[in-house]
């Protein structure tokens, strides 16, 4: 080693250059305190080239600023019951860990770690940061820093008291060792290539980015047990991938709160943008889920035996389950939900695609589900429907929703372009309340009732091709106060009963061609202009023919 301090020693060193350490370049123990400041007129000072660690800190404090640290076989910094402070440190070509911290407090500012995978299958190497706490609460804090290139996780936190706090932190291109097939076995998968939380650990990330991380489960971030959690505010999660569930975010039993940023171009087998399973809880407020891809289900979001809430206008755009998906048909371009609880308010589903449920697929719900104030626009199914509901056993209620410009691109008169309901198990029911269903194309109709219970109230179904409502046993569909108009000459299929207060009249949309579905002041959909005295359809007045 190059520098060793013990028994409470204190040192303040500038422009130290250390090299070829076999155990560690710096060794601190028993309450020692070392400060290294590498500022000079030219370049930062360097710790370079060792078979061990750049620094070993045991029960001590190490502060390093303006240093380059590179080519250490064990890793950068091993900290036990100590304190590590790094400022403007550039660490690269570290073959094991960037930082391995146990029961310690760590702080990074303006620091970059570029880790190089270790070519040993030792089941431990390959973390940018491994932070664990066995007792008490400890914080790993990182500001305006970057962690990249580790085999397993950029950051892995373990323990009930371990906290990760990141401000404008970038975690990118971690987990690639699995893809190369160098280490991982079925018993040792990479779970959470960007950030991995388990054993009660928690993370709070503000700003920054999780980018291009690759894992078996949870490309960008994984929360792996009920005691662990993460809060992400303004964090961009993009271009991450998972072989299994959760390309961007993966929540297994734990909890994630995500707000104010986007999930972009993430991909996985299920849950390209995010996956929530096994009693996990996810809340997302605002932001977009864009360009998600899944090979089986839920290109935007996959929610199974768990709970998810999307509020404040989360938009799902261009999320795709390719038609070439093998095995079960590709399901749920925007959202797939099964045996789960879901709250969905104010969202838009645009240009999504899948074989079944181009925008939304729901099956076997664990409780009643209300989808309110949402828009399903220009989604394309290669099999059946923008929204596909199967064997719910509970009630799916669609309130003030718009379904427009959706289509099926294969001929099938037993399918729907917009809403398909098949409830072969008892208890399943689909209710449309104050919805607008217009300009949907192909299939048997915009709405297709295959089996079970359906209700349609205070809704407008107009200008769909080839029909508005089709299916079987339509006499059992309860309807009232609806406007079915000009659905290619077939508003209702055989046996349908319009119900009290229903009529057929031009809804007078403000601009159907440009998907503007507010209505003219003279529209029969407005309360003053119909016998029911209620607003019919999702949107009220937005224009007037009488200036």
Identify whether the C-beta of residue 225 lies closer than 8 Å to the C-beta of residue 255. no
Judging by beta carbons within 10 Å of its beta carbon (0-12, 13-18, 19+), is residue 395 exposed, middle or buried?
middle
**Terminal Cα-to-Cα distance of the chain (whole angstroms):** 86
Within 8 A by CB and 6+ apart from 290, the residues are 262, 263, 264, 265, 315, 316, 317, 318, 319
Residue 23 in this model has a pLDDT that exceeds 80: no
Average pLDDT over residues 334-346: 95
> Which one has a higher pLDDT value, 51 or 320?
320
pLDDT in tens, 59-112: 999 999 999 998 888 899 999 999 999 999 999 988 889 999 999 999 999 999
The span from the CA of 216 to the CA of 245, in Å, is 8
- Secondary structure element (H or E) that encloses residue 376, with its range: strand 375-377
- Residue 321, burial from CB neighbour count under 10 angstroms (0-12, 13-18, 19+): buried
Quote the pTM value.
Answer: 0.94
Strand partners, 338: 304, 363
Predicted pLDDT of residue 411? 87
Q: Which helix (H) or strand (E) holds 275?
A: strand 274-277
Phi, psi dihedral angles at 512 (to 5 degrees):
-60, -40
**Residue 423 to residues 190, 374, 390, 415, 420, Cα–Cα distance (Å):** 39, 23, 6, 14, 10
Tokens at 258, concatenated: 């995500």
Find tokens 């569930």 and name the residue.
245
Give the integer Cα–Cα distance in Å for 126 and 497: 66
On whether the CB atoms of residues 541 and 523 are closer than 8 A, the answer is yes
Longest Cα–Cα distance of the chain, Å, equals 91
Distances in whole angstroms, Cα of residue 148 to Cα of each of 14, 145, 153, 232, 393: 28, 10, 9, 19, 46
Query: Is the distance from CB of 187 to CB of 161 less than 8 angstroms?
Result: no
Are 261 and 289 contacting, i.e. CB atoms less than 8 angstroms apart? no
Q: Binning pLDDT at 50, 70 and 90, where does residue 547 land?
A: very low
Cα torsion angle, 177, 178, 180, 184, sign? positive
Give pLDDT tens digits for 402-437: 999 999 998 899 999 999 999 988 889 999 999 999
Quick check: 58 pLDDT over 80?
yes
- State the DSSP string of 397-463: EEES-EEES-EESS--TTSEEEEEEE--STT-EEEEES-EEES-BSSSEEEEEEESEEEEES-EEES
pLDDT of residue 190: 87
Provide the 10 A C-beta neighbour count for residue 427: 13
Mean pLDDT over the full length of the chain: 91
pLDDT surpassing 50 at residue 119? no
pLDDT > 90 in the chain, percent:
77
**pLDDT value of residue 237:** 98
CA distance 298 to 342: 14
What is the rounded CA–CA span in Å between residue 459 and residue 399? 10
Return the C-alpha torsion angle 408, 410, 411, 417, nearest 10: -10
Mean pLDDT of the region 297-314: 96
Note the pLDDT of residue 218: 96
β-partners of residue 293 are 267, 320
pLDDT of residue 321: 96
Cα of 70 vs its chain's centroid, Å: 35
Interatomic CA distance for residues 36 and 17, integer angstroms: 10
290 pLDDT band (50/70/90 cuts)? very high
Distance CA 30, CA 5 (A): 8
pLDDT grade for 22, boundaries at 50, 70 and 90: low
Q: pLDDT (tens digit, 9 = 90+) per residue, 160-214?
A: 999 999 999 999 999 865 444 444 444 467 899 999 999 999 999 999 999 999 9
CA–CA dist 240, 211 (Å, integer) = 6
pLDDT at 323: 75
Residue 261 has pLDDT above 60, yes or no: yes
CA distance 472 to 86: 69
d(CA 273, CA 263): 6
Write the DSSP string, 225-260. STT-EEEEES-EEES-EESSB-SSEEEESSEEEEES
Q: Render pLDDT for 354-378 as a digit per residue (tens, 0 to 9).
A: 999 999 999 998 889 999 999 999 9
């Amino acid at each position: 080693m190059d520098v060793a301090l013990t028994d409470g020693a204190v040192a303040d060193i500038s422009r130290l250059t250390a090299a070829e350490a076999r155990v560690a370049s710096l060794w601190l123990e028993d309450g020692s305190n070392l400060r290294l400041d590498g500022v000079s007129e030219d370049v930062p000072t360097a710790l370079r080239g060792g078979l061990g660690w750049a620094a070993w800190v045991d029960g001590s404090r190490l502060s390093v600023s303006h240093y380059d640290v590179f080519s250490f076989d064990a890793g950068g910094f091993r900290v036990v019951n100590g304190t590590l402070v790094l400022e403007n440190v550039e660490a690269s070509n570290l073959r094991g860990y960037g930082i391995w911290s146990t029961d310690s407090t760590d702080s990074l500012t303006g620091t970059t770690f570029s880790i190089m995978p270790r070519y040993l299958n030792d089941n431990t190497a390959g973390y940018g940061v491994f932070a664990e706490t066995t007792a008490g609460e400890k914080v790993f804090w990182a500001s305006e820093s970057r962690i990249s290139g580790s085999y397993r996780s950029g950051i892995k936190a373990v323990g009930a008291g371990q906290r990760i706090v990141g401000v404008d932190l970038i975690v990118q291109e971690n987990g690639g060792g699995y893809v190369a097939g160098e280490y991982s076995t079925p018993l040792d998968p990479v779970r959470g290539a960007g950030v991995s939380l388990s054993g009660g650990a928690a993370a709070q990330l503000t700003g920054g980015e999780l980018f291009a991380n690759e894992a078996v489960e949870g490309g960008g971030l994984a929360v792996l047990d009920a005691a662990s959690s993460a809060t992400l505010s303004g964090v961009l999660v993009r271009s991450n991938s998972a072989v299994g569930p959760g390309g961007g975010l993966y929540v297994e039993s734990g909890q994630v709160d995500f707000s104010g940023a986007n999930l972009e171009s993430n991909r996985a087998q299920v849950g390209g943008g995010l996956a929530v399973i096994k009693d996990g809880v996810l809340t997302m407020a605002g932001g977009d889920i864009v360009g998600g891809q899944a090979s089986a289900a839920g290109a935007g979001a996959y929610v199974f035996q768990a709970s998810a809430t999307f509020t404040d206008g989360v938009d799902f755009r261009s999320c795709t389950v390719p038609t070439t998906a093998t095995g079960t048909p590709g399901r749920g371009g925007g959202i797939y939900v099964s045996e789960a609880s879901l709250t969905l308010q104010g969202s838009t589903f645009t240009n999504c695609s899948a074989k079944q449920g181009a925008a939304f697929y729901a099956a076997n719900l664990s409780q009643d589900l209300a989808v309110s104030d949402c828009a399903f626009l220009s989604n394309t199914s290669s099999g059946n429907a923008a929204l596909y509901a199967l064997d719910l056993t509970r009630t799916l209620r669609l309130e003030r929703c718009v379904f427009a410009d959706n289509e099926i691109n294969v001929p099938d008169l037993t399918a729907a372009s917009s809403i398909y309901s098949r409830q072969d198990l008892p208890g399943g029911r689909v209710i449309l309340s104050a919805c607008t269903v217009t300009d949907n194309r192909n299939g048997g109709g915009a709405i297709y009732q295959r089996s079970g219970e359906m209700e349609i109230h205070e809704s407008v179904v107009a200008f769909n091709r080839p029909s508005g409502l089709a299916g079987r046993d339509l006499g059992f569909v309860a309807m009232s106060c609806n406007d079915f108009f000009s659905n290619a000459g077939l508003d209702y299929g055989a046996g349908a009963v319009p119900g009290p207060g229903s009529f057929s009249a031009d809804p007078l949309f403000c601009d159907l061609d440009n998907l503007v579905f507010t209505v003219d002041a003279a529209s029969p959909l407005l309360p003053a202009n119909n016998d029911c005295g209620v607003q019919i359809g999702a949107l009220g007045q937005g224009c007037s023919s009488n200036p």
